[in-house]
Copies of this chain bind each other. A is one copy, B any other.
Amino acid sequence: MAAVNGKKIKVGIVGGTGYTGVELLRLLSCHPNVELTAITSRKEEGMPVAQMYPNLRGHVDLCFTTPETSPLEQCDVVFFATPHGVAMEQAKSLLDHGVRIIDLAADFRLQDTVAFEQWYNMPHTCPDILAESVYGLVELNREKIANARVVGNPGCYPTTVVLGLLPLLRRQGLIDPSYIIADCKSGVSGAGRKASVPTLFSEASDNFKAYGVGGHRHHPEITEQLEGIAGGAVQLTFQPHLVPMIRGMFSTIYVRVQPDAQSTDFQALYEQHYAGEPFVDVMPAGSAPETRSVRASNQLRIALQRPNPGQLIILVVQDNLVKGASGQAVQNMNLMFGLPETTGLDLVAVLP
């Protein structure tokens, strides 16, 4: 499917009040090929977007509207920055009007509907649309995304873990797929903008904690992708932690190198695999990545360590709101409309 013939892409955002919503607005308001058409929020109907988010003063003039009164069906693409379950409800109608969909929630991430129902406590109401949807990890599914009508934008943790392991699992025999550990750390914005005690400043600041003790929703999503790549079973131990920073995600992934593969040059393997990727940076050997090196940018950076022959450590950083959410969604949109993948995303990370 080609772009829109030199015309701007008409974009709608459903649920623009959360952090992925405001981040979409930050990115799309500067995107040269986008015309922001509608931003919906039932709760904030009528409020100027820039009043809720003063960083947008002078950049976004729209007010929040309700989905019912919004010209979503006239859009070329609609982003769902909503709670899980909303995109499922509205997908069919939009598709029928020729609108393409990028869902930043989980409705179109997991092909396994049983796992979906178990982890998200709701039935999947449009398995047929799910069946045609594409998992929007560009570096994995570039061609499919370009032609997709519905894209399920990956979760933040899965983006780091899947891209961190992709070059390894593509080939048989490099690592032991039955013993992979992902020790992951996220900034607090990953929990969203909902009022809640555990994410209050006075609770989360100057503190570090584990969470998701009983399991985390991103676990089945990661496993489904890893098994698809490996073509077989993968056993992953996944432990998320909360870091007192706003943005940023750091995944430390521990894998066992198979005895026969210990002479592999993993650094070269990764560099070759990601050589053409604009948003995946394989850092030089010996690097120690830090989250601020990607803050507010769409980069994901990877570094490798080899503390002993049987052990490989993959360190991955991204901004959870950009490459881990809204930036990746825009990257998907660019692909879907035939634009250069980096359009509107050529952002230098903010440091310090």
Contact = CB atoms under 8 A, between A and B. Distances in A.
B201 A195 contact: no
Contacts of A311: 237
A254 B22 CA distance: 34
Contacts of A352: 19, 22, 189, 193, 202-203, 246-247, 321
B241 A185 contact: yes
A119 interface: no
Contact of A254 (B59, B246, B254, B286): B254
Contact of A210 (B54, B187, B195, B315): B315
A272 to B, nearest CB: 17
A299 B58 contact: yes
Interface stretch (A100-108, A137-145, A288-296): A288-296
Nearest to A196: B195
A58 B59 CA distance: 27
A101 to B, nearest CB: 25
A29 B348 CA distance: 8
A298 B332 CA distance: 29
A271 interface: no
A206 B55 contact: no
A163 to B, nearest CB: 16
Contacts of A209: 250, 288-291
B213 A286 contact: yes
Given A207-B245, A348-B56, A201 B188 contact: yes
Nearest to A349: B55
B286 A214 contact: yes
Interface string A322-352: 0000000000000000000000001011111
A30 interface: yes
A308 interface: yes
Contacts of A313: 237, 239
B207 A248 contact: yes
A249 to B, nearest CB: 8
A189 B252 CA distance: 22
A120 B211 CA distance: 36
A191 B201 CA distance: 10
Nearest to A211: B288
Nearest to A203: B352
Given A58-B299, A252-B183, A206 B292 contact: yes
A201 B281 CA distance: 26
A59 B185 CA distance: 27
A210 B295 contact: no
Interface in A28-48: 29-30
Contacts of A59: 348
A109 interface: no
Which of A196, A201, A241, A303 has the most C-beta atoms of chain B within 10 angstroms of its own C-beta?
A201
Nearest to A189: B202
Contacts of A213: 286-288, 305
B243 A281 contact: no
B206 A245 contact: yes
A1 interface: no
Contact of A55 (B297, B308, B346): B297
5 contacts: A54-B283, A57-B299, A189-B352, A195-B197, A213-B305
